[in-house]
Chain A
Amino acid sequence: MTYRHARWLLAVLVPLALLTSACGDDDDGDAATGGGGACAEVSAPDDAPAITIGAQDFGESAILAEIYRQCLVAAGFDVTIQAVGGFRDLELAAFESGDINLAPEYAASMLEALNGQAGEATPDAVETTELLNGYLADIGLVALTPSDAVDTNALVVTEATSEELGITAISDLADHTDLVLGAPADCETNAFCLPGLQSVYDIDLSAGFIALEPAAVVPALDEEEIDIALLFSTDSRIVSNNYVLLDDDEGMLAADNVLPVLTTELAGVEGLAGLLDAISESLTTDGLTELNRRFDVDVEDADDIAASHLESAGLL
């Protein structure tokens, strides 16, 4: 009797586990397969390697990854998207291990991440990309032509704070170093955050700094728990919440243009670089902000947003 029962227990649990592992999730392929656009005019070579795009876990990265994916799929490539969490070093590790071979990136930030925050990036996109490629070559990667879309760090204050203290530019903070800055924890070591404020503006905000996960920054600003928030310049809430984007009057921020980073192997595949360049050309800062708005405010899905962008750009 007991043998039967004990085996029955195992017989229930184990197959159930195996069964559900057999039921994989359906693949995420509901890309628009509407009439041919520029992407479909390119034909992937037969021996093209499979492409895995690394997407970081914020909306803009997911949207960009989808844009790349849908265009490349239309061209006949075999493409999947792999989530790489929220940290650039996970993405770099994924490149190294071969888990991914393409990712949307930001020229200046990636450069600074690779050179240990040495401060080499400049406001010039081409120059920054060249410097970046110098470092990427060492790890078997290459960055293609940067787009015009820039997503850089943005220091914002509420309208009320701006009016009350007369702050419209970063240099205005020099008289108000008692203000509280809220930002993700890497602000302490990021060349475009606290260290940059110190070295370029000679402003030290570290005394009141509060480390907050990105999701908590906006509520904290709205409820006046922090005075200054670090957001990204393509965050649609800057406009919709009437924040004042502090002007970078002394040029701390550099060229964080969106560009594709891929393995040198992939870069050599015929037609691929051309497609990615075409995508880069279709991106603008305002356009990206609008895509973000649809994601954050209208709560649309990344793949739908990507599809409509590609369609309106004539690529899909």
Chain B
Amino acid sequence: MRDRPWIEWDWVGDHLDDIRAATFEHLRLTLLAVAIGFVLAGVLSAVGLRWRRTLGPITWVTGVIYTIPSLALFTLLIPIFGLGSIWSAEVALVGYTLLILIRNIVAGVDGVDPAVRAAADGMGYGRWRRLLEVELPLAVPAIIAGLRIAAVTTVGLVTVTGLIGLGGYGSFIDAGLKRQFPTQIVLGGGLSVIMATVIDLTLVGIERVLTPWNRGEVARP
């Protein structure tokens, strides 16, 4: 890569179609993983909150998944789901989101002031109603914080799928690596960062909308 500029803009201009396609593919892989992960984490969190003893094993299993190097996991899934199938990637990506999401959902619900819980009980709320109408809304900041981390991490992980032949920005990075062509690497990495930023800011916006009672205070990171 000696003597090549970091970005060659005419190459970028010539390949706008490819960039658009890669963007859609990357977004699709990311949002699918986070959406499914969120639903799954929600279910597992509810189980863990209701039956406390399951929380240990749930955290342990999702934690172990998290430690498996992503490329190794993708390659192990290919024989099961087939090459070129997004599920070889998605199953792993969903798995990686679980630990963060469950941790944050549970912490968020646990972090609700006991006085508020007591008030809800006093007003005759049943367990599930209390969860849905009192605890979850108050847990929104923690949940969104978890979603932000999960989403941003997933954007980064999706680039690794470029190494197993899926699209997304990772395919640029991989191709650029092979030919020693910095533009593709920088483009792939840079666009990942931009996508992560957009998703992150969107989630911050959603948090603001969902928690009107928090406006006016010092924003927390």
Contact = CB atoms under 8 A, between A and B. Distances in A.
A57 B28 contact: no
A9 B210 contact: yes
A207 interface: no
Interface stretch (B50-58, B95-103, B117-125, B177-185): B177-185
A57 B83 contact: no
B69 interface: no
Interface residues of A, dominant DSSP? helix
Interface in B33-85: 34-35, 38, 75, 78-79, 82-84
Interface stretch (A77-85, A127-135, A165-173): A77-85
B83 A84 contact: yes
A99 B83 contact: yes
A53 B84 CA distance: 12
Contact of A57 (B15, B174, B183, B206): B174
Contact of A82 (B8, B38, B78, B83): B83
Give the interface residue-count category, chain A. 35 or more
A26 interface: yes
A20 B28 contact: yes
B24 A299 contact: no
A228 B156 CA distance: 34
Given A94-B83, A97-B82, A57 B136 contact: no
B24 A25 contact: yes
Contact of B35 (A14, A25, A26): A14
B133 interface: yes
Contact of A218 (B24, B78, B180): B180
Contact of B83 (A12, A14, A26, A90): A90
Interface in A18-36: 20-21, 23-26
A296 B163 CA distance: 18
Interface size class on chain B is 35 or more
B164 interface: yes
A37 interface: no
A99 B32 CA distance: 24
A3 to B, nearest CB: 8
Nearest to B79: A93
Contacts of B79: 93
A25 B21 contact: yes
B119 to A, nearest CB: 15
B200 to A, nearest CB: 14
Interface in A151-204: none
A2 B132 contact: yes
Contacts of B2: 219, 222
A9 B79 CA distance: 35
Nearest to A301: B15
Nearest to A216: B177
A57 B1 CA distance: 19
B17 interface: yes
B136 A84 contact: no
Contact of A12 (B22, B84, B179, B206): B206
A23 B24 contact: yes
A301 B22 CA distance: 16
A94 B35 CA distance: 30
B137 interface: yes
Contact of A17 (B35, B78, B167, B206): B35
B179 A17 contact: no
Interface in B196-216: 206, 209-210
Contact of A215 (B35, B132, B166, B177): B177
Nearest to B25: A25
Given A12-B206, A295-B179, A296-B179, A85 B24 contact: no
A58 B24 contact: no
A218 B179 CA distance: 10
B171 to A, nearest CB: 8
A6 B133 CA distance: 10
Given A17-B31, A85-B83, 19 more contacts: A3-B132, A5-B209, A6-B136, A6-B137, A12-B206, A17-B32, A20-B24, A26-B17, A26-B21, A57-B178, A59-B179, A84-B165, A85-B163, A85-B165, A93-B79, A218-B180, A219-B1, A296-B179, A299-B179
